[in-house]
Amino acid sequence: MNQWTREARYRPLSDIAPEVYQTMKEEVRNSPWRFSYHIQPPTGLLNDPNGFVYHDGTYHLFYQWFPLGPVHGLKYWYHMTSKDLVHWFDEGAALIPNDDADSHGAYSGSGFIKDDAVHIMYTGNKRDADWVRHPSQIVGHLRSDGRIDKHLPPAIPNVPAGYTEHFRDPKVFQEASGTWYCIIGAQCDDLTGCTVLYQSEDAETWTFLGELKTQYPDFGYMWECPDYFELDDKGILLFSPQGIEPDGDAYQNIFQSGYMIGEKLALPELTYQHHAFSELDFGFDFYAPQTTQAADGRRILVGWMGLPDISYPSDMYNWAHALTLPRELTLQEGRLKQLPIRELDLLRKRTIHAQSTEINQAMTIAQAETFEIELSNLALQTTQFEIHVRAADQEATVLTYDATTQRFTLDRSRSGAEVPAVDYGTTRTVQLEQPLHQLRLFVDRSSIEIFLNDGEAVASTRIFPKSTSQDITLIGDLTADISIYEL
C-alpha cells in the first residue's frame, strides 16, 4: 500500500473527476467477493456504523467511509436508508469533511430524533501542522435531500483537562425526563481507556459531567465507540477497548468489542454497578458496533465486519469491509442474546432444502454461494460433527462442534485467499454453556455469520473463497431439521 502517502489518504472525493470516479466504481462493482445482501462501500473503505436511527417509517444507517481506496484516510459518512432493515437504499455521501473542525475526517458518532428531525453528533477530526489531533464534537441535522447540515462552531470544541487527543465517538441518548446525555470514548492522561459523559437540555449546548466510574480503571489504552442503552430495567454499556491481551479463547483479535450489564447509570452522579465485560462476537471480523431502537421497541445492533490495521484480499480491488447483518438484542439469564432480526426472512429467494435429515458419516447436502442454513433439533450420535461451507477441492470453512467439551470452533485456514491477519491465528473457539442444539449461518460471497443456540454465541467472519466453492457438507452421525435458503 505504498502509494498511500499521507497526501493520497487525505485527498477529498471532489478532487477526482466524476468520470474517473465512475470508472473506479465500475471496477469495484465487477470485482470478486462483492456481497449479495450486506452493506458494503461503493469504492474504498467502510468502517464503523454511525448515526443508526429510526424516524417516521425509515431507518437511517450511516458508515465511516474513505472513498478513494482500501485504507483509513479522510473519512466521510455514507448514508443508507431502509424501511425494513434488510433492503437498503443508497443515499450517497451525507457528511463531507470540508470544514476546519473536521478537516481530517468526519469521525464516528450517533443519531437521535429531536423536533421531529434526524440529528447527529460526531467527532470532527482535525490535525495541526505537527499532525497532532484536535478532536471536537459537532451536532448536525439531516436535510430532506439526504445531506447533513453541521451546526458550527462545534458543540464541544475541546478535550477537557485530564484526557488526551484520543477523545471521540459521541453516542447521544435521552432520559425520560427529557434531559440529553452523550457518552464519549476517551483516553485518560495516564493512557488508560475510559468514557466520559456530557449533559444537555437542548442537545446543542453541552456541559461536561465527568468520567463514568466503572470497575475497569485499567482495561486497555483507549475505549472507542461507546454505546449506552437500557433493556428490561438494566443499563448496558457497549464499547470497543484497545490494548487487551489474549486470555484463553477471549480477546484473540487485534481489538475487541463487548458489553457490561449493570444497574441503570446513576446520572449525573456517574456511578455504574455492573458485571464483568464480555465480548459480543467470537469471530475474526467484528468491531465498533452501534445500536438503535426499532420502531417496535426492539434493540438492534449492527457492527463493522472488519478491524482496524489489518489488510484484506479485496484491497487489491480498491474496496474493503462491510457491515454485519442487524441483530436483535435481548437479556436472558444475565447475558445478552443476539438473534438475527426476523426481517432477514424477507431475503429468502428460494428454499433449497427443508426436511428432517439423517447424516451418516458425511453428506454434501446442497450447493450454494449465498445462503442461510439452520439446523435445529440437533441430535448427535458421534461426539464430534463438522459443517463445511463454501467448500470445493482444497477449500472449505470448517465449523466443528465437540459434544464432550461443548466447544465450537471456526477454522478459516482453508477458506480461500488468506487474510493477512494470520498472526492473530486462523481458528476461533467458543465454550458453550448449553449443549449445541441449534445453529444458524448466514453465508455471503465473502462472509459468514454464525448464531449458536438461539443467540447464545455469535461469530462474524470474512472469508475469501473462489465463487465456485459452494459445497455444504456435514460430517458425523446425526439427525437434525435442516433448512437451507438461497439469499
The C-alpha cell at 316 is 487489491
| CB-based contacts of 167, cutoff 8 Å, min separation 6 | 123, 135, 159, 184, 185, 186, 187, 196
* Distance of alpha carbon 486 from alpha carbon 368, whole angstroms: 7
For ligand FRU, which is the closer residue by CB, 169 or 471?
Answer: 169
Q: Helix, strand or coil for residue 268?
A: coil
Instruction: Report the interface residues with ligand FRU, using CB under 6 A.
Output: 47-48, 64, 75, 107-108, 123, 168-169, 224-225, 287-288, 308
CA dist 377 and 359 (Å) reads 14
To ligand FRU, the closest distance from the beta carbon of 354 in angstroms equals 39
* Residue 407 C-beta: closest distance to ligand FRU, Å: 30
Quote the cell numbers at residue 229.
Answer: 442503552
Q: Which of the following is catalytic: 48, 169, 281, 411?
A: 48
Strands (E), 13-105: 44-55, 58-66, 76-82, 88-95
Of residues 107 and 408, the one with the C-beta less far from ligand FRU: 107
Give whichever of 131 and 145 is closer to ligand FRU, judged by the CB atom: 131
Backbone CA torsion sign across 2, 426, 284, 375: positive
DSSP tag of 216: -
Computed on alpha carbons and rounded to an integer, the radius of gyration of the chain in Å comes to 22
- For ligand FRU, the closer CB: 123 or 447: 123
Instruction: Tell me if residue 233 is catalytic.
Output: no
DSSP bridge partners of 7: none
Cell numbers that stand for 172 in this block: 447521544
- Measured between alpha carbons, how far is 25 from 67 in angstroms, rounded to an integer? 10
Shortest distance, CB of residue 447 to ligand FRU, whole angstroms? Answer: 18
Q: How far apart are CA 237 and CA 261, in angstroms?
A: 7
Q: Given the DSSP bridges, would you call strands 384-392 and 447-452 parallel, antiparallel or unpaired?
A: unpaired
Query: Measured between alpha carbons, how far is 184 from 450 in angstroms, rounded to an integer?
Result: 30
Half-sphere exposure (CA, 13 Å, Cβ side) for 371?
Answer: 21
Nearer to ligand FRU, 123 or 473 (CB): 123
Nearest-angstrom CA–CA distance, 238 and 480: 35
Residue bearing cell 437542548 = 202
Instruction: Provide, rounded to whole angstroms, the least separation between the CB of residue 184 and ligand FRU.
Output: 10
d(CA 375, CA 479): 9
Q: In the bound complex, what is the minimum distance in angstroms from residue 128's beta carbon to ligand FRU?
A: 18
Specify the residue, 33 or 255, whose C-beta has the smaller distance to ligand FRU. 255
CB of 168 to ligand FRU, least distance (A): 5
Residue 308 C-beta: closest distance to ligand FRU, Å: 5
| Min dist. Cβ of residue 274 to ligand FRU (A) | 22
DSSP assignment of 448-459: EEEEETTTTEEE
| Distance in angstroms (rounded) separating the CA atoms of residues 461 and 10 | 29
* Amino acid at the residue 55: H
- Contact (Cβ atoms closer than 8 angstroms) between residue 140 and residue 107: no
Our measurement of the distance from residue 465's CA atom to the centroid of its chain's CA atoms, rounded to an integer in Å, reads 22
Rounded Cα gap, residues 129 and 290, in angstroms: 33
Q: How far is the CB of 264 from ligand FRU (least distance, A)?
A: 25
Residue closer to ligand FRU, measured from CB, 134 or 440: 134
Q: Which residues are catalytic?
A: 48
